[in-house]
Structure 1
Amino acid sequence: MIPIDEKHIIKKLKAGDNEAYKYIYDYHYVALCKLSYYLLKDRVQAESIVNDVIFHLWEVRDKLELVPPLRNYLIIAVRNKCLNYLALKQQETEIRFSTIEQAGIQLQNIVSDNEHPLGNLLKEELESKIHESINKLPPACKQVFTMSRFREMSYEEISRELGISVNTVKYHIKSALVILKKELGTFLCIIFAFYPTLLL
């Protein structure tokens, strides 16, 4: 059954009322994360996509023709974004394998120490380079990125622990990814082989 106040919520949303934004999180976030996780089997990425969808809704709220129930719109948006992510990930995987093969390196020889004695040394070198690059991030950016990628905390958990908004968490994550991808550019193909979700 459609909540009796969703038409009012939509009006408040279009007016830029933060209470409407909070309503979407309170009543739809968990269900959307379950849907996203079902499609992706990746908790961190699932939550990231749901946050992106809700934030995008907020950004373009005055341009959309929304009608109750809001969950219908949100489910379609999350589903489409998940499918786009999976398609892009498949393309990136194909490109990474192609790039590695063109360089004369077989991926299985890199990730398996038993078959490639230099694999462990390469991984140690990459870890050193990654941590060196992360340490160059601005302090707040570094803290949020570390909590997300190494402690596997959700945006909501980081927000609560640091006392900042979810949007601020997202800003720091996106800033970190831009900086790290630029800093680690020449290592990206190999980094994706060892740490496929680190820079996604």
Structure 2
Amino acid sequence: MTTAEILYLNTEKIRYIRLAYGYVRNMDDAEDIFQDCILSILNNRDKIHISDISVYFSAVIKHRCLRHLKRESKSDTFEDPILQAHIAKLSADMERPDPAAQDDMSRLMKNCRARLKDLTINVFEAKRFEGMSYREISRIFGIRESRVNLEIQRALKIFREEFKDYLPAITLLITGLLCVGGGGFSAIIGN
């Protein structure tokens, strides 16, 4: 993450504080959340490489708000229905995919597809989306089981490289795809 991107976040400070305030309903807490997120990014900026800073930082703010609200609900001795409603709203917002993030994910999946051989993709899909064993895959594609392992490792390496900033979200995405019946690459990139 560049210094210019961090300065951009600071120029948009009011927008992000309003976003946080919309969830936590306390201006001091919203400002603290913004500052905590900026500090977190500053401390990890060498590790963060993203294509859309606004989408990323909005997600960071929402996650921090959710953690704050959950912590707050545990510290209250009574069930606060307003607080519970805020937690439910934020959780629902986080489950609904952001169109900009979806576009970015689709672009990254296309990058993966371009970098992987057809055999690698087919082997990976057979293992991960169809649940086949190494032995079944080796018979279908006429390759050794050790080659099956190699192709899966190759695919995972490319995914890690392309999605390094989205690994937690990808885990949820893949879990969701498996739950609703798979679909492989074509379900993700729309082909």
Name the TM-score, length of structure 2 as normaliser: 0.38
